[in-house]
A and B are shown apart, each in its own frame.
Chain A
């Protein structure tokens, strides 16, 4: 049979009577966490469309919080019903995994998002306009910065309540991302959470040009990396003839039933290796690993600070989850190829992040580079290729994301006439003026630096231990040395806050509403609890560390 005849016969067979496309079988209950969030997002869009302007804020906050709390509840129910362990399986025709890592990371993402939504909803920090309280987001996203229209919108006290549904969409995408069990779902999830984030980045109330520039950069580079990812997916499909992680793994290991078509491609390792590397690159872009980190400082600085906190925390959790699943489920047969490469990436990421942070003068950029260095530390755990590696990475993500959220929430409080005072010199002597805020920030910085009795230490210890046990001792040494360099700039900020004289016209520390206070308090509590009693959570991560295939 010639090739064209084959195509023809397929064509005719598909059109014949005996062939029917079966309706996909979807386990709605097991996908409920994601569905609740998406449902809430759709509801939010409707609310914004139909409710009067005055009542939108309250409705959106209610919908978001209810949706996220509901999703978290659903995660807990699924986990307690054993879906994290013995009932773990692939749902929705093998597209989405319902297993330990997926549920653990989804739970983390939902909780992080809930705290982030609190900071989004903060309306006490910006001055009132026309008697209406406003938030960190622009009055009207469509208004050109500096235009009459913008002034009018500002004067009218408009607010962009669309940020809530946008966030919920992003959260939904992030929840699917680490659960995606095939490459296409992975890609769709990536786009679902990336696009709302691009938008959110552009919505700052102050310094809108910077904000929009950041958003455009993020969008362009994100699109660029998505192209790589997609091309990688195509190559992998070309190699394995399937997009499912398990299927690819079978072909790589040679356990898949051999078909003539497969026999032709499966011998071509170049397809596999190049495709794998490109997919890897797409994910490394999202976690902000060197050399795909360049967007991080600019975007972190330009985006509205609550969005930065959300991105830095939740995106990282989602992206590392997807990375883990890809490497451990789809490409474990290839680990002798990707391990050395990831070694290099991890070392570069730790070193570059730590070193460049030393000379930063803007607190948001500093935290951006710090997040790059932390991505390197987490990569060290990813490289471990042991079950401990998985659980330690998940623990680290949980610990790190709350610290990050808390730190960015504190950044929103230190303000002067131009909005947030992010230049580090403005933070001098903050400890004398506002000891409590400075002390809280110091706690977060110590956690970033990995000082014992903070969650940062427990996480770093777990990750480095897993890496060392997994045979990556040199990586651990580089990690510890980078931590030493990193400790310098964290502690320098503490010294700056507590041991230098405040400037006479220094920034003021705004008193936030209970929303931000709750977010910060949550950050402090998790930092301390995970630091002092990490064992329960380590065990939890340990129990949830088995991927389903």
Chain B
């Protein structure tokens, strides 16, 4: 059974290799091959899952070593896998949602000439992401970590002919590098502290290290998580990443890759548990991000960017929960899974809407689509209800638990973060209702398809719509609707199933550990408050966007709205803080290089040259001068010899 773990990773890796190296011969079947291999991986995951369920809680983890990768004296790195309940959860999410999105992409990318390559990248992503979650040491995890970063880069910039996509890919890559440096430093610290970077020995002997070291490792891991999971302050790339094809946004930038940071923190729980300062930092980052993302999500008119803000915010919830320690780990992962379902569903729904609307992304040009795209409307609606935490649906259970845990943190900070989480829930209800109303309700505000040249940022016309044509919204083909339907089931039932008899808690507890916090508020109070603020959020949204018509051109808006439209000035901040400072720094260095270093070099050369031309004038060609110089030289020689004796 252990050998199957390797197969889990190998299947999509094989797909990537075949599809990327195979050439045009595979153009006609490439997408189905890719989907098949993703499905294979999912089936292997299910087999492993069934096998795992056959064992009792403590003995569920299995591991295998493939080969010794870097055997250098005390530096031993193996390619070895470990599959425990935490990894298993991710494996099922990744392969399950991944397979659905492969299927969806078959329809979505039908008219793209480079579809085979797209599926190759998707398979590459799956392989890397699976490697990330089944690795049994940090170094191998780092390989997967970089692998998903590469896949993400390639897929964001998949339409590289669009400068905006190419730029977005570069931005994502560079911002992620900052986080990656954090991870590599954390791994180095682990090696110098523990002499190894395998999970089991590192985490088991975490208590032997000083708290300072653990805080250092924890903060570096947090930096890594911030990069990959788009948390403040490394959040700026996620909005732009929506330049990628919508299935990519659904799979990588909503359901799976962006949650890798949560996985990393949860996996490294024993380190964070012993480093309270690092934990506090995690909580602060999570809280700030959940509000940040929510506020940005309120102001965006681009449906994908609104959803991207929402993703950021929801991952903020997860990070917050992970920062709470053992009272939160399980709920972080639970929310991660339910979010994987409903956010992927929402993105696929958004993709379906765009598919029907000539790839229009501006919600102000949607409206009244519920009649034209009933399946999309229903599945999207269920995802919507799930994310706002409508009682009984997935998000209700998972988010509610996180808010409870936040209050259970205790003390003043418990109140602060609990309140923030509640506020976030209200804003979530507001912006999601706004998306829902602007897209599916109200009047038609459709516009002719933008001219392809005039709007280069629009996705290429999926079904060859001519520019200037009025959209004819229609339901998408089965390959797109089926995944949406399946994900809608997940959005509806996952939370309920997980919460039934605390099944998810019992499943994950052996790995992450769990303890109940002591909340100053009763669970019922928290739940009631959560539902109340949710209703308020929905009501406000209805007052603004449901009761009166939505203007096609966005109103000027308040200062906060305008700031939120600009992603709360994140790019302006980065520009001033890093780009300008960096360019000043480089300019300074260039100046130093030109004037200082080059000056020194050229100055030396000039000095030598000048000296040379002066000294060669002594060579005047007259024997008498030469003889005099010789005589002088001889005199000096004699004098020096005598002087040496006198001195000595």
Q: Which of B24-32, B427-435, B534-542, B616-624 contacts A (4 or more CB under 8 A)?
A: B616-624
Of the listed residues B616, B632, B638, the one surrounded by the most CB atoms of chain A closer than 10 A to its CB is B638
Binary per-residue interface labels of chain B (608-636) against chain A in the complex, 1 for a CB within 8 Å, 0 otherwise: 11011101101101010111011111101
Task: Identify the closest chain B residue to A344 (Cβ).
Answer: B640
Q: Does B642 belong to the interface (CB within 8 Å)?
A: yes
Residues 209 to 224 of chain A near chain B (Cβ within 8 Å): 216-217, 220-221, 224
Task: Identify the closest chain A residue to B642 (Cβ).
Answer: A273
Knowing A355-B615, A359-B613 touch, does A274 contact B642 (C-beta < 8 A)?
yes
**One of B608, B627, B641 near A277 (C-beta < 8 A):** B641
Task: Identify the closest chain B residue to A282 (Cβ).
Answer: B634
> Do residues B626 and A276 form an inter-chain contact, with CB atoms below 8 A?
no
Say whether chain A's binding surface is mostly helix, strand, loop, or mixed. Answer: helix
Q: Number of B residues contacting the other chain (C-beta, 8 Å)?
A: 30
**Min CB distance, A129 to chain B, in Å?**
31
**One of B619, B621, B637, B640 near A356 (C-beta < 8 A):** B619
Q: Number of A residues contacting the other chain (C-beta, 8 Å)?
A: 41
Q: State the CA gap A359–B640 with chains docked (Å).
A: 31
Say whether chain B's binding surface is mostly helix, strand, loop, or mixed. Answer: helix
Task: Identify the closest chain B residue to A351 (Cβ).
Answer: B611
B-chain residues with CB within 8 Å of residue A358 when the two chains form the complex: 608-609, 612
> Do residues A291 and B623 form an inter-chain contact, with CB atoms below 8 A?
no
Binary per-residue interface labels of chain A (280-310) against chain B in the complex, 1 for a CB within 8 Å, 0 otherwise: 1100110000111011011000000000000
Q: Does A263 belong to the interface (CB within 8 Å)?
A: no
> Do residues B644 and A340 form an inter-chain contact, with CB atoms below 8 A?
yes
B-chain residues with CB within 8 Å of residue A220 when the two chains form the complex: 623, 627
> Do residues B644 and A291 form an inter-chain contact, with CB atoms below 8 A?
no
**One of A221, A295, A337 near B644 (C-beta < 8 A):** A337
Residues 21 to 57 of chain A near chain B (Cβ within 8 Å): none
Q: Does A454 belong to the interface (CB within 8 Å)?
A: no
Binary per-residue interface labels of chain A (205-243) against chain B in the complex, 1 for a CB within 8 Å, 0 otherwise: 000000000001100110011001000000000000000
Q: Does A269 belong to the interface (CB within 8 Å)?
A: yes
Task: Identify the closest chain B residue to A213 (Cβ).
Answer: B621
**Min CB distance, B163 to chain A, in Å?**
39
Q: State the CA gap A237–B629 with chains docked (Å).
A: 27
> Do residues A297 and B619 form an inter-chain contact, with CB atoms below 8 A?
yes
**One of B608, B627, B632, B648 near A355 (C-beta < 8 A):** B608
Q: Does A485 belong to the interface (CB within 8 Å)?
A: yes
B-chain residues with CB within 8 Å of residue A297 when the two chains form the complex: 619
B-chain residues with CB within 8 Å of residue A338 when the two chains form the complex: 641, 644
Q: Does B645 belong to the interface (CB within 8 Å)?
A: yes
Q: Does A336 belong to the interface (CB within 8 Å)?
A: yes
B-chain residues with CB within 8 Å of residue A228 when the two chains form the complex: 634
**Min CB distance, B600 to chain A, in Å?**
14
> Do residues A352 and B615 form an inter-chain contact, with CB atoms below 8 A?
yes
Knowing A358-B608, A485-B608 touch, does A285 contact B630 (C-beta < 8 A)?
yes
Q: State the CA gap A280–B609 with chains docked (Å).
A: 31
Q: State the CA gap A216–B624 with chains docked (Å).
A: 12
Knowing A220-B623, A221-B630 touch, does A360 contact B616 (C-beta < 8 A)?
yes
**Min CB distance, B400 to chain A, in Å?**
73
> Do residues A270 and B642 form an inter-chain contact, with CB atoms below 8 A?
yes
Q: State the CA gap A465–B630 with chains docked (Å).
A: 31
Q: Does A93 belong to the interface (CB within 8 Å)?
A: no
Q: Does A278 belong to the interface (CB within 8 Å)?
A: yes
Task: Identify the closest chain B residue to A341 (Cβ).
Answer: B640
> Do residues A280 and B637 form an inter-chain contact, with CB atoms below 8 A?
yes
Q: State the CA gap A209–B637 with chains docked (Å).
A: 34
> Do residues A277 and B638 form an inter-chain contact, with CB atoms below 8 A?
yes
**One of B609, B615, B621, B633 near A281 (C-beta < 8 A):** B633
> Do residues A359 and B633 form an inter-chain contact, with CB atoms below 8 A?
no
Q: State the CA gap A334–B546 with chains docked (Å).
A: 108
Binary per-residue interface labels of chain A (252-280) against chain B in the complex, 1 for a CB within 8 Å, 0 otherwise: 00000000000000000110011011101
**Min CB distance, A337 to chain B, in Å?**
5
11 interchain pairs, CB-CB under 8 A: A228-B634, A277-B638, A281-B630, A290-B633, A291-B629, A291-B632, A292-B634, A298-B619, A337-B641, A359-B613, A488-B608
Listed from nearest, the 6 A-B pairs whose CB atoms lie closest are A291-B633, A294-B626, A359-B612, A358-B612, A277-B641, A277-B638
